[in-house]
Amino acid sequence: MILTVTLNTALDITYRVRSLRPHASHRVSEVTERPGGKGVNVARVLAALGHEVTGFTGGATGRVVQEKLAAVPGVVDALVPVSGATRRTVAVVDDRSGDTTQLNEPGPTITPSEWSAFLAAYDDLLPAASAVALCGSLPPGVPVGAYAGMVRTARSAGIPVLLDTSGEPLRRGVAARPDIIKPNADELAELTGSHDPLRATQDARRRGAGAVVASLGPEGLLALTRDGRWRATPPTPVRGNPTGAGDAAVAGLLSGLVEHLPWPTRLTRATALAAATVRAPVAGEFDRGVYEEMLTRVTVSGEVSAA
């Protein structure tokens, strides 16, 4: 069982409009809703394996998130209820340009007792987990060192842990020595101060990350681990909606970790899943045909460490 943690779960709402014009009134032609938050997205991609999701939920939106999550086969919900309303995200898709305008609510304020209840649930779930993913932003009220503490708990229990967040929670979390981090280019530059991906991944490892897998958008992944350094590249730059591509890559890395696959195979899988997500018609889903095709077409180049 893989445990994916989503502290700031969301109800992801997508609106289709003919053409978005600021300061005008728009009739929404189509509404879709799905449970969201990075860890939930990771869990959905991992659903072919048996695994469990834990995170916060709350208020009226939280009930909807839980009901919708219950309908996803293979995902077991261990969400911890809170009194505030779970945040919504609204993506407005412009039919003419295909572009998306995103509006993200901040999330409810978590009380100290709710945070304690969450940590107790985390401790209970950890022993049964083969790996843990800590994903996304922290809702208001959760201490900025939350992920650092959760990384240490997982490591004490001997469970590999992947951290996918940004800003100060990432900086503190890295110092707690997670097994893998998966920053994008902006998050990596913010962490290290360097815009050179190779130099920045080296710096992030020195800060405490066991392996750094940087997602470089359409150019694929750059990985620096104790075993070596690799670059995984899709055959052509992939066009489409990048929502959820990073989460799909996390699912690829995690499943490869628990299956004890060598790094190049993990990176091929992660890159193929990300590309198949960008190409899927529904944001955050992946296209299985594209995934299987990409598995044979992603190239991995690099070198194994001499050490």
Positions that interact with a copy of itself (CB under 8 A): 13, 15, 17, 20-29, 31, 60-61, 63-64, 67, 88, 90, 92, 94, 97, 99-106
User: Which of residues 11 and 267 has its CB atom nearest to a copy of itself in the complex?
Assistant: 11
Q: What is the DSSP string of 151-220?
A: HHHHHHTT--EEEE--HHHHHHHHHT--SEE--BHHHHHHHHS---HHHHHHHHHHTT-SEEEEE-GGG-
Name the residue nearer to a copy of itself (CB basis): 77 or 287.
Answer: 77
Catalytic, 94? Answer no
Closest separation between CB of residue 84 and a copy of itself, Å?
11
Q: For residues 33 and 52, which CB has a smaller minimum distance to a copy of itself in the complex?
A: 33
| DSSP designation for 303 | E
Under DSSP, is residue 284 helix (H, G, I), strand (E, B) or coil? coil
Please pick, among 77, 164, 247, 287, the residue that the annotation labels catalytic.
247
Kindly state the smallest distance separating residue 190's Cβ from a copy of itself, in Å. Answer: 16
CB of 45 to a copy of itself, least distance (A): 22
Please give the torsion angle defined by the CA atoms of residues 207, 128, 223 and 174, in that order, rounded to the nearest 10 degrees: -20
> Alpha carbon of 300 to those of 165, 182, 193, 297: distances in Å?
25, 17, 27, 10
For residues 11 and 125, which CB has a smaller minimum distance to a copy of itself in the complex?
A: 11
CA atoms within 13 A on the CB side of 150: 37
| Residue 63 beta carbon to a copy of itself: minimum distance, rounded to whole angstroms | 6
For the beta carbon of residue 134, count every other beta carbon within 10 angstroms: 27
| ∠ CA 96-102-108, rounded to 5° | 155
Distance from C-alpha of 274 to C-alpha of 54, rounded to nearest angstrom: 23
Cα separation, 32 vs 38, whole angstroms = 18
Per DSSP, 291 falls in state: H
Please list the active-site residues. Answer: 247
